[in-house]
Amino acid sequence: MLVFVINCGSSSIKYQLFDMPEKRVLARGVLERIGETGSAVLTHRAGDGKWNFEVDAPDHRAGLDFILRTLTTGETGVIKDLSEIKAVGHRVVHGGESIREAVVIDADVEAVIARCAELAPVHNPPNLMGIRTARDVLPACVQVAVFDTAFHHTLPKKAYLYALPLELYEQHGIRKYGFHGTSHEYVAVEAAARLGRPLSACNLITCHLGNGCSMTAIEGGRSVDTSMGMTPLQGLMMGTRSGDLDPAVLVHLLRNGWVADAAELDRLLNRKSGLAGISGIGNDMRTLEENMDANPRALLAVEMFCHRVRFYLGGYLALLGTCDAIVFTGGIGENDHIARAVVLSGLEALGITLDADVNEAMIRGRTGAITTPDSRIPAFVIPTDEEGMIASRTYDLAK
């Protein structure tokens, strides 16, 4: 069965075409700058080939039409006809409390995604747009939604409630939901396999570190706490998001008129903070590390980032009591040996002994342990495969 996985952002479509159940990737790519001034740009890969196109894509419908033509025509094509695609899997960020697993999309599911747009305004609206566009363009396909929040539905009440009047949860759903669940689940399954035991017998700390960052404490294979909250803003310092801060700061900013309104406050916290806000030169960790010696702000941003990760790591070690492995994934987690070294160095008393040489050699695309053989708690680098997980969930429901 051919399964088409798409992840729609506000101005982008990421996609992969899978041959299931072997999970063989036939093609992949990303279309960026949809609806923006000038042409959109498609980067498409199939086999050993890579192509770049300028695309007239004023909206997601036009963008998806072009992607599907690319899959079926010329040297970029990998299938003869769109009828060969039997199912479409969609990444959806927020499913609220009512959706706890991957589901075939119907009107009720769409309504939940729309309602949750208030909690994930950057992500759910384009996710929903992608669902509706794919249904129009591929009407014969089963459409499946896989939710970032689903893996975290095992959080206990003591972990997901905020210390606010309980009525705010009961009447308005104000609580921690957690995100990156598909990634945390995938690397947890892979880590359990490396440990040679079922996931249900594992306590793990998974660290998804990229432009968006989150960590999860997994006990007996179930998420019991996670760093992101009601929205993806809570928790670790991220590329452009602030992460944790004193909530009185928000009151102070508004009361003194330093931000004009809630919309400006949202932009400040989500778009202008984090690594970019501290460094002043951007949110790419590679750039910051290249400039650490000459730029004190770049050094400070890296130090703050690693400090936050260590803080959560210590808290989750205490929460779990025993830990079978730590897992790094995401763009920074998989590729940045400097950040991993700062996070894990000096933790021998906690049972974590970093192998500095192995860690430095663990470059893009590689996977394995970065701790010494005698480390009581191993630390792994495991590249995430959210699209592969979405394809598997979609295949299971569609077949």
The interaxial angle of helices 262-271 and 247-255, nearest 10 deg, is: 130
Q: Is residue 178 within 8 Å of 120, Cβ to Cβ?
A: no
- List, by residue number, the catalytic residues: 148
Structure tokens at 28: 């992949």
Give kind and range of the element (H or E) at residue 2: strand 2-8
For residues 376 and 197, give the distance between their C-alpha atoms in angstroms, rounded to a whole number.
16
| Runs of H (alpha helix) within 143-261 | 157-160, 166-172, 181-195, 247-255
At residue 357, what are phi and psi to the nearest 5 degrees? -70, -45
User: How far is residue 344 CA from its own chain's centroid?
Assistant: 22
Give the other-Cβ count within 10 Å of 227's Cβ.
27
Pairing of strands 85-92, 2-8: parallel
- Report yes or no: 82 and 72 within 8 Å, Cβ to Cβ: yes
Q: Which residues lie below 8 Å from residue 84, measured CB to CB, with a gap of 6+?
A: 2
Quickly list H helices, 196-320. Answer: 247-255, 262-271, 274-279, 285-290, 296-320
Provide the 8-state DSSP code for 20: T
Residue 4 and residue 25: Cα distance in Å, rounded? 10
Q: Decide: 155 and 137 in contact? Cβ < 8 Å.
A: no
